[in-house]
């Protein structure tokens, strides 16, 4: 956060209620209330925090505590709020827990605007001593939070103001406090001060936590190094250009030292940087001299700003343009003069020049930007200057970083003041001069100047700028690494450490840190130039985010997520007094869960005793936001909104990061997914991420931008609808939580049987959501309890808007908070006799019973007729006893990256409410015992076929199977090792990579772009070496049941190799029609004979016979009896395009005692053969040969006789041919007659599809 002073269905529709909203009414939530009840989530908090150990990070990049995934829903406390009295600490800790918060971020603890009341004792003339009183209060608050199950996040450097007595020289007072912080990136003296503060703060014993310091306390889960800052950010802000001499010299010394590691001589450096000196071409601007007045120029006036423009001859008798601002706006860009129709080509050089003056000193910016309407980002160099009263010529030259087909030249920066600006002779031409070094400036002398950002001070070549940015990122990385090492290694801290937000320091620069972070504010307040944080002179845009699916804060955050790292959003807010701000927790939580973020923190929460909104960011005093936190907790912490099924990852190497920053970086948007084409709208449908590091992997190009006006998540649970102009609405539809957020425009919303029909409100806008706190779905036969929250407009008593309704100045008003009681009709998919509803008072206790009526056999009730309230309790009694049944089946297949998460979901009915137990390959997974569960930290061993057993006293039923596997771009993950690569097999022309299984499970991929095969080896239960081969796209996961080893194979002469032994199940996900799989054992017929005695490519004869195979594998094994058949449990296949190549398992028998055995690939069409040796189910196993469609399906040597007598479940087979087979030693396995009953959807199809061998 920038410097922040917390200022303090026809029949149902016919019955829909049309109650109109009345005036705002008093509804204030007490600051210290934690009364038990439906609205108190304290029981969600394992207490005390830290008791289960330290928060750690999985391989997939998510937080776990005690082996279980955890998401953090938090608040920020800032400046004085970090140090409440003991009574306030106790009250607020309890209140935060009741609203579902499990984390608090301690921010602005060193606030220089409150020097008498913060953690640093500034009275000593330096910033190096902690206040004993404030440290004691901090420790007590941390302890109270921990007792309530709430974790702490300690921020080290946020708003500290270094003093002259700190040892950084007297020049330190010339820098703004935030600019002081960047000295640590290149000055060892500043870095040592940063470390010293960390040591003092984190090492002091906390008497309220058993004497443990913050560094020793597992309830302190996070430490942040520096808030919202970066060295390149300050370059973009021109701060580095104007550093005091000692600091600028220190930066230059580090820059030169870095250059010497890159270049041996000045000549080599100049050859890399290049020098450009091209004659200027023609002016590409029309009417650049204003001889035709403002012809060809576009004049813009925004947010009430007004200006006149008059053509004249003030430029020494030549044409000019005078712009006089008569009514200022609140920002410099509110008056603009621009000309579009320009373009430039990557690598070419361009020069902009103009003459300008002003009636008095006036800021002016000149830049090249895209032309919108949704993208006005800068694409070339720019000038920011202060005009004097005399004409001056301004020029900047640059190399285009990209092809830009639609560009405008834009003047602004002066629209927030009464002023008069003069412009003349504006030119945009190809050509110009860039680069070179002044006389006496050499690499050897170490006096290469810093690269300046402001184009008015000179321009740099692309190579020079690229080197500068590369150096700056390297300097940032050195700092982050040094601070992390100090915190973790020197101080012994075992929690999570990260640096700053991605907007200010990009991900590769922070790649060694534990996690990544983002901040965002919807409609942050703005101030006129020079009046930052003025308590009176400010404005906001009073709009809801629901009308902006493609250009909002959440889409920006999503494109900063890094694959394999926890993604935190430690500051988020829709600033007050925005009348739509109650949407904040709901939109952020739903979107964050869809993107699978790991923490979400509201900014900010005051720990005083006020009970009203005291400023822009006061979350705790906002009744609408706080009641919606209950739903946010269910959406985000409980995970009611499942992560998107699909994930699009773009590679973002350090080199790409540098180029992105060079081409289009800005101070608060340096380099992230938005710079490399990740579509904003994709984030409403699927997960997006960046893969970082030198070996980053991902899509070769960004996915296409979704089109239309309705954007639905690929899970179906989140829908963003802008089909009605300016009446956007977001709906959440999960089994346990339903919500409607936005401009409802008289519409009714059926969310899986729960119908929400909002009534008339003050803004035609509301949020209405209900969530089950007991029970799993709203139509279940068992008992359930839910909380319902409905919010609309809100303000303080006495709050006064200006005429434009974009500011209240300092007229915030006082308590009580006044809220809109939202009218609506709610219909539930259960009988009215089972439902009771109550409105709740400010403490969440029952207030007035709400009448529930029957509506065509369903319960229906109205909101808005039972007193002033924002929340309601719903109780649903159990229905008549009914058998357990599955209402909606699990998804057919799911997959995720290594360490990722996958949600398994179904809905079930029955009374009493049925229990749900998920199984994997027929065995219970005890931790997965609910209708909707999330499998965290996905590993190869988790791959398999999952089913849910739904049961109650009336019996049980099994769900349809769900295939679960991994998505990987690595050759092997898990317990496997590539022991050979690019092995060419002359007999068949194939090239393969050999992977040896070294544990119970591994996942492999093939280099399908090179037409290569990957082979995975293990030993089956009959001691045969089994080779599983895969080619084409996708990931093959192999899991051994009853795994032992590794050990040398007893049936082969290969004592130097250790094999794993067990019974394998195989899952293939991400496949398509190019993917093939085969399984066979190593025998004398299949093994390569280096002696040439047996050649598999030639017909078998007495001379060329497998028994003569001279492979050393069989040396000394003359008496060994080989089974020669691979033993498998199953092969399960999920395809991205519904197609697959072939399954070649003629040398394999499938058997199992539980779960499915055989080939399970429903809905998959095979272009190649499906060959299986035999399928044998015993005990509780089910034999399957379920395909989508296959024209060449064979049983080779088997008879399908089932040990347990079960019918073989089949699909997609027109003919099942029983044919000859052979083992891996060349022994014939004659075709057998079918001995099984084949069933498809319960129908015996044996006679229809079986082709028995001819007698």
In a domain, 383, yes or no: yes
Q: Which residues pair with 74 in a beta bridge?
A: 103, 601
868 vs 629: CA distance, rounded Å: 19
In a domain, 1178, yes or no: yes
Same domain, 1001 and 1150: yes
Q: Which residue has the tokens 């050990």?
A: 1047
421 vs 416: CA distance, rounded Å: 13
* 1054: pLDDT strictly greater than 80: yes
* Predicted TM-score (pTM) of this structure: 0.81
SS3 1104: coil
* 454: pLDDT strictly greater than 90: no
Q: Which residue has the tokens 């070179």?
A: 436
In a domain, 366, yes or no: yes
Q: What is the DSSP-derived secondary structure letter of residue 892? A: S
499 against 462, higher pLDDT: 499
Confidence of residue 568 (pLDDT cuts 50, 70, 90): very high
1143 vs 1113: CA distance, rounded Å: 27
Same domain, 1195 and 1232: yes
CATH number of the domain that residue 339 is part of? 2.60.120.260
Same domain, 921 and 1000: no
Residues 484, 513 contacting (CB under 8 angstroms):
yes
Q: Which residue has the tokens 């020289």?
A: 169
Residues 9, 749 contacting (CB under 8 angstroms):
no
Domain boundary among 965, 1000, 1015: 965
pLDDT, tens digit, for every residue of 29-41? 999 999 999 999 9
The stretch 1062-1084 carries a mean pLDDT of: 95
The stretch 399-424 carries a mean pLDDT of: 94
591 vs 585: CA distance, rounded Å: 10
904 vs 292: CA distance, rounded Å: 68
Domain boundary among 901, 931, 965: 965
Spell out a b/e string for 342-367, using b for 16 or more CB atoms within 10 Å of the CB, else e.
Answer: bebeeeebbbbbbbbbbeeebbbbbb
> What is residue 290's predicted lDDT score, i.e. its pLDDT?
97
> What is residue 22's predicted lDDT score, i.e. its pLDDT?
64
Determine if residue 1179 is left, alpha or beta; phi over 0 gives left, psi from -120 to 50 gives alpha, anything else beta. left
In a domain, 1010, yes or no: yes
Q: What secondary structure does DSSP assign to 296-344, as a single string?
A: T-EEEE-TT-EEEEEEEEEETTEEEEEEEEEE--SSGGGEEEEEEEEEE
* 199: pLDDT strictly greater than 60: yes
> What is residue 633's predicted lDDT score, i.e. its pLDDT?
98
* 1255: pLDDT strictly greater than 80: no
Q: Helices 86-98 and 132-147, interaxial angle, to 10°? A: 30
| H or E segment and range at residue 199 | helix 188-203
Q: Which two tokens stand for residue 823?
A: 């009218």
SS3 1245: coil
In a domain, 1116, yes or no: yes
Range(s) of the domain holding residue 368? 298-435
> What is residue 946's predicted lDDT score, i.e. its pLDDT?
98
Question: How large a percentage of the chain has pLDDT more than 90?
Answer: 83
| H or E segment and range at residue 1238 | strand 1238-1240
CATH number of the domain that residue 952 is part of? 2.60.40.10
Q: Which two tokens stand for residue 807?
A: 């500011």
Confidence of residue 457 (pLDDT cuts 50, 70, 90): low
Q: How many CA atoms lie within 13 A of 364 on its CB side?
A: 27
The stretch 1088-1102 carries a mean pLDDT of: 79
Same domain, 1026 and 1092: yes
* 731: pLDDT strictly greater than 50: yes
Pairing mode of beta strands 794-797, 814-819: antiparallel
1092 against 450, higher pLDDT: 450
1013 vs 1088: CA distance, rounded Å: 17
Q: What average pLDDT does the chain have?
A: 93
Residues 545, 553 contacting (CB under 8 angstroms):
yes
1048 Cα distance to chain centroid: 45
Q: What ranges in 595-730 are assigned the alpha helix state H?
A: 623-632, 654-664
pLDDT, tens digit, for every residue of 302-350? 988 999 999 999 999 999 999 999 999 988 999 999 999 999 999 899 9
97 vs 100: CA distance, rounded Å: 5
Residues 349, 412 contacting (CB under 8 angstroms):
no
Same domain, 1007 and 1112: yes
Domain boundary among 435, 469, 496: 435
Question: In the chain, how many H helices and how many E strands?
Answer: 14, 73
Nearest to 585 by CA among 595, 599, 573, 569: 573
Q: Is 418 exposed, middle or buried (0-12, 13-18, 19+ CB in 10 A)?
A: middle
Residues in contact with 1036: Cβ distance below 8 Å, sequence separation at least 6, in sequence order: 1003, 1004, 1005, 1014, 1016, 1028, 1030, 1066, 1067, 1068, 1077
> What is residue 376's predicted lDDT score, i.e. its pLDDT?
85
> What is residue 106's predicted lDDT score, i.e. its pLDDT?
98
Spell out where 882-959 has E strands: 882-888, 893-896, 902-905, 907-911, 915-920, 923-924, 932-935, 944-952, 955-958
Same domain, 1132 and 1201: yes
Confidence of residue 5 (pLDDT cuts 50, 70, 90): very low
pLDDT, tens digit, for every residue of 1016-1026? 999 999 999 99
| H or E segment and range at residue 245 | helix 245-262
The number of domains in the chain is: 3
Same domain, 1077 and 1016: yes
> What is residue 114's predicted lDDT score, i.e. its pLDDT?
95
* 17: pLDDT strictly greater than 70: no
Pick the range with the lowest mean pLDDT from 281-295, 480-494, 928-942, 977-991: 977-991
The stretch 463-484 carries a mean pLDDT of: 97
Same domain, 1090 and 1227: yes
Pairing mode of beta strands 1156-1166, 1126-1135: parallel
Q: Which residue has the tokens 């049941």?
A: 1041
* Residue 815, CA distances (Å) to 573, 797, 799 in order: 21, 6, 10
Residues in contact with 535: Cβ distance below 8 Å, sequence separation at least 6, in sequence order: 5, 7, 809, 810
Q: Which two tokens stand for residue 64?
A: 């776990």
pLDDT, tens digit, for every residue of 1164-1202? 999 999 999 999 999 999 999 999 999 999 999 999 999
Question: How large a percentage of the chain has pLDDT more than 70?
Answer: 98
741 vs 758: CA distance, rounded Å: 10
SS3 47: coil
In a domain, 853, yes or no: no
Determine if residue 281 is left, alpha or beta; phi over 0 gives left, psi from -120 to 50 gives alpha, anything else beta. beta
CA angle 410, 415, 418 (to 5 degrees): 140
Pick the range with the lowest mean pLDDT from 242-251, 606-615, 978-987: 978-987
Residues 498, 517 contacting (CB under 8 angstroms):
yes
Q: Which two tokens stand for residue 1212?
A: 């997609």
Same domain, 1072 and 952: no
In a domain, 415, yes or no: yes
Same domain, 950 and 1028: no
Confidence of residue 455 (pLDDT cuts 50, 70, 90): low
* 45: pLDDT strictly greater than 80: yes
The stretch 1041-1048 carries a mean pLDDT of: 91
913 vs 776: CA distance, rounded Å: 9
Residues in contact with 728: Cβ distance below 8 Å, sequence separation at least 6, in sequence order: 544, 546, 547, 548, 549, 720, 721, 722, 742, 743
Residues 856, 775 contacting (CB under 8 angstroms):
no
Residues 1045, 1022 contacting (CB under 8 angstroms):
no
Q: Which residues pair with 106 in a beta bridge?
A: 77, 154
Q: Is the peptide bond before 1122 cis (omega within 30 degrees of 0)?
A: no
Residues 827, 796 contacting (CB under 8 angstroms):
no
Q: Which two tokens stand for residue 647?
A: 């994930």
Nearest to 998 by CA among 956, 958, 1085, 1057: 1057
Q: Other C-beta atoms within 10 Å of 207: how many?
A: 12
Confidence of residue 749 (pLDDT cuts 50, 70, 90): very high
pLDDT, tens digit, for every residue of 838-885? 999 999 999 999 999 999 999 999 999 999 999 999 999 988 888 999
In a domain, 479, yes or no: no
Q: Which two tokens stand for residue 419?
A: 């002023």
> What is residue 912's predicted lDDT score, i.e. its pLDDT?
83
Confidence of residue 988 (pLDDT cuts 50, 70, 90): low
Confidence of residue 987 (pLDDT cuts 50, 70, 90): low
Confidence of residue 119 (pLDDT cuts 50, 70, 90): very high
Phi and psi (nearest 5°) for 232?
-70, -35
Confidence of residue 18 (pLDDT cuts 50, 70, 90): very low
Same domain, 345 and 397: yes
Spell out a b/e string for 841-868, using b for 16 or more CB atoms within 10 Å of the CB, else e.
Answer: bbbbebbbebebeebeebbbbbbbebeb
Q: Which residue has the tokens 């008879």?
A: 1199
Same domain, 1076 and 1154: yes
pLDDT, tens digit, for every residue of 1179-1188? 999 999 999 9
**Residues belonging to the chain:** 1255
Residues 1066, 1028 contacting (CB under 8 angstroms):
yes
308 vs 256: CA distance, rounded Å: 49
782 against 561, higher pLDDT: 561
* Residue 1163, CA distances (Å) to 889, 1131, 1137, 1210, 1211 in order: 15, 14, 10, 12, 9
Q: Which residue has the tokens 């808030």?
A: 227
The stretch 575-579 carries a mean pLDDT of: 98
Three-class SS string for 687-707? EEEEEECCCCCCCCCCCCCCC
Confidence of residue 472 (pLDDT cuts 50, 70, 90): very high
Q: What ranges in 363-496 are assigned the alpha helix state H?
A: 462-485
């Amino acid at each position: 956060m920038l410097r922040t002073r917390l200022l303090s269905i026809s029949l149902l529709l016919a019955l829909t209620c049309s109650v109109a909203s009345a005036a705002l009414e008093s509804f204030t939530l007490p600051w210290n209330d934690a009364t038990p009840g439906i609205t108190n989530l304290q029981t969600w908090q394992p207490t005390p925090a830290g008791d289960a150990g330290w928060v750690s990070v999985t391989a997939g990049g998510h937080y776990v505590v005690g082996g279980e995934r955890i998401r953090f829903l938090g608040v920020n406390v800032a400046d004085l709020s970090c140090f409440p009295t003991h009574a306030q600490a106790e009250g607020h800790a309890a209140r935060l827990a009741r609203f579902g918060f499990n984390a608090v971020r301690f921010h602005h603890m060193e606030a220089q605007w409150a020097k008498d009341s913060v953690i640093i004792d500034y009275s000593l003339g330096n910033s190096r001593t902690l206040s004993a009183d404030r440290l004691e209060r901090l420790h007590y608050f941390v302890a109270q939070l921990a007792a309530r199950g709430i974790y702490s996040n300690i921020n080290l450097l946020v708003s500290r103001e270094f003093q002259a007595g700190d040892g950084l020289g007297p020049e330190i007072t010339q820098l703004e406090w935030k600019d002081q912080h960047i000295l640590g990136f290149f000055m060892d003296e500043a870095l040592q001060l940063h470390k010293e503060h960390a040591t003092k703060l984190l090492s002091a014993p906390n008497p309220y936590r058993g004497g443990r310091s913050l560094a020793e306390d597992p309830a302190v889960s996070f430490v942040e190094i520096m808030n919202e800052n970066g060295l390149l950010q300050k370059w973009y802000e021109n701060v580095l250009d104007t550093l005091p001499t000692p600091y600028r010299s220190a930066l230059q010394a580090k820059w030169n030292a870095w250059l010497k590691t890159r270049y041996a001589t000045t000549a080599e450096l100049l050859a890399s940087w290049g020098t450009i000196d091209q004659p200027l071409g023609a002016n590409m601007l029309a009417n650049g001299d204003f001889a035709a007045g403002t012809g060809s120029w576009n004049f813009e006036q925004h947010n009430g700003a007004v200006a006149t423009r008059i053509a004249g001859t003030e430029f020494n008798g030549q044409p000019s343009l005078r712009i006089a601002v008569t009514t200022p706006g609140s920002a410099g860009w509110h008056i603009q003069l621009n000309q579009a129709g320009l373009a430039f080509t990557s690598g070419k050089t361009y020069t902009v020049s103009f003459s300008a003056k002003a009636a008095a000193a006036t800021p002016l910016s000149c830049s090249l930007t895209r032309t919108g309407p949704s993208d006005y980002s800068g694409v070339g160099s720019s000038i920011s200057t202060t005009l004097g009263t005399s004409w001056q010529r301004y020029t900047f030259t640059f190399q285009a970083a990209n092809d830009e087909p639609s560009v405008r030249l834009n003047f602004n920066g002066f629209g927030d003041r009464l002023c008069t600006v003069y412009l003349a002779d504006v030119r945009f031409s190809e050509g110009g001069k860039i680069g070179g070094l002044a006389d006496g400036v050499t690499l050897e002398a170490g006096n290469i100047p810093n690269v300046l950002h402001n184009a008015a001070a000179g321009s740099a070549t692309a190579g020079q700028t690229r080197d500068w940015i590369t150096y700056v990122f390297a300097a940032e990385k050195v700092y982050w690494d040094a601070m992390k090492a100090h915190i973790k290694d020197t101080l012994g801290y075992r929690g999570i450490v990260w640096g700053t937000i991605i907007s200010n320091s990009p991900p590769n620069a922070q790649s060694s840190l534990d996690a990544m972070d983002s901040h965002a504010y919807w409609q942050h307040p703005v101030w006129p130039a020079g009046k930052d944080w003025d308590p009176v002179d400010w404005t906001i845009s009073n709009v809801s985010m629901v009308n902006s699916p493609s250009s909002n804060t959440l889409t920006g955050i999503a494109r900063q997520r890094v694959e394999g790292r926890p993604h935190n959003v430690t500051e988020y807010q829709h600033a007050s007094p925005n009348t739509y701000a109650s949407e904040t927790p709901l939109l952020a939580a739903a979107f964050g869960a869809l993107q699978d973020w790991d923490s979400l923190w509201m900014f900010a929460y005051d720990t005083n005793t006020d009970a009203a909104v005291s400023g822009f960011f006061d979350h705790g005093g906002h009744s609408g936001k706080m009641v919606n936190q209950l739903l946010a907790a269910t959406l985000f912490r409980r995970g009611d909104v499942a992560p998107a099924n699909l994930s699009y990852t773009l590679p973002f190497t350090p080199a790409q990061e540098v180029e992105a920053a060079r081409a289009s970086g800005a101070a608060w948007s340096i380099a992230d997914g938005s710079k490399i084409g990740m579509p904003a709208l994709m984030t409403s449908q699927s997960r997006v991420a960046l893969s970082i590091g030198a070996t980053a992997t991902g899509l070769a190009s960004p996915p296409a931008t979704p089109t239309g006006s309705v954007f639905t998540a690929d899970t179906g649970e989140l829908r963003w609808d802008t089909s009605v102009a300016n009446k956007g609405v977001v709906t959440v539809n999960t089994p346990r939580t339903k919500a409607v957020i936005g401009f409802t425009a008289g519409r009714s919303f059926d969310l899986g049987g729960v119908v929400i029909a909002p009534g008339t409100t003050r803004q035609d806008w509301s949020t209405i959501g209900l969530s089950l706190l007991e029970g799993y779905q709203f139509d279940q036969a068992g008992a359930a309890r839910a909380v319902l929250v409905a919010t609309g407009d809100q303000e303080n008593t006495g709050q006064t808007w200006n005429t434009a309704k974009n500011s209240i100045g300092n007229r915030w008003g006082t308590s009580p908070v006044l809220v809109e009681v939202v009218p609506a009709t709610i219909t539930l998919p259960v009988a009215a006799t089972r439902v009771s509803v109550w409105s709740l008072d400010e403490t969440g206790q029952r207030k007035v019973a709400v009448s529930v009526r029957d509506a065509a056999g369903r319960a229906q009730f109205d909101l808005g007729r039972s007193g002033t309230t924002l929340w309601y309790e719903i109780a649903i009694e159990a229905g008549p006893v009914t058998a357990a049944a599955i209402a909606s089946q699990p998804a057919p297949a799911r997959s995720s990256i290594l360490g990722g998460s996958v949600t398994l979901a179904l809905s079930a009915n029955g009374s009493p409410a049925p229990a749900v137990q998920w199984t994997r390959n027929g065995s219970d997974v005890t931790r997965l015992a609910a209708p909707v569960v999330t499998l965290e930290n996905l590993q190869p061993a988790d791959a398999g076929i999952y089913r849910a057993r739904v049961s109650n006293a009336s019996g049980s039923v099994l769900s349809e199977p769900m295939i679960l596997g991994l998505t990987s771009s690595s050759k092997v993950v898990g317990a496997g090792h590539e022991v050979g690569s690019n092995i060419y097999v002359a007999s068949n022309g194939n090239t393969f990579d050999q992977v040896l299984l070294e544990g119970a499970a591994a996942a492999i991929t093939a280099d399908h772009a090179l037409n290569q095969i990957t082979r995975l080896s293990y030993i089956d239960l009959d001691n045969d070496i089994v080779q599983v081969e895969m080619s084409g796209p996708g990931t093959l996961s192999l899991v051994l049941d009853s795994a032992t080893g590794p050990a040398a194979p007893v049936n082969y002469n290969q004592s130097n190799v250790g094999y794993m032994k067990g019974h394998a199940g195989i899952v293939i996900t991400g496949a398509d029609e190019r993917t093939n799989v085969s399984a066979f054992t190593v025998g004398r017929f299949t093994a390569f004979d280096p002696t040439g005695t047996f050649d598999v490519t030639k017909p078998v004869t007495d001379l060329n016979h497998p028994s003569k195979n001279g492979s050393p594998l069989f040396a000394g094994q003359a008496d060994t009896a080989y089974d020669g058949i691979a033993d498998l449990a199953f092969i399960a296949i999920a395809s991205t395009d519904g197609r697959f190549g072939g399954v070649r398992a003629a040398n394999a028998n499938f058997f199992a005692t539980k779960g499915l055995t055989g080939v399970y690939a429903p809905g998959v069409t095979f272009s190649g053969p499906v060959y299986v040796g035999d399928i044998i189910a015993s005990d509780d196993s089910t034999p399957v040969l379920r395909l989508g469609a296959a024209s060449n399906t064979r049983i080779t040597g088997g008879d399908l006789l089932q040990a347990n007598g079960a019918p073989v479940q089949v699909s997609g087979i027109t003919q099942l041919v029983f044919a000859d087979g052979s083992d891996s030693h060349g022994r014939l396995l004659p075709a057998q007659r079918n001995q099984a009953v084949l069933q498809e959807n319960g129908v015996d199809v044996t006679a229809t599809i079986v082709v028995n061998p001819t007698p």
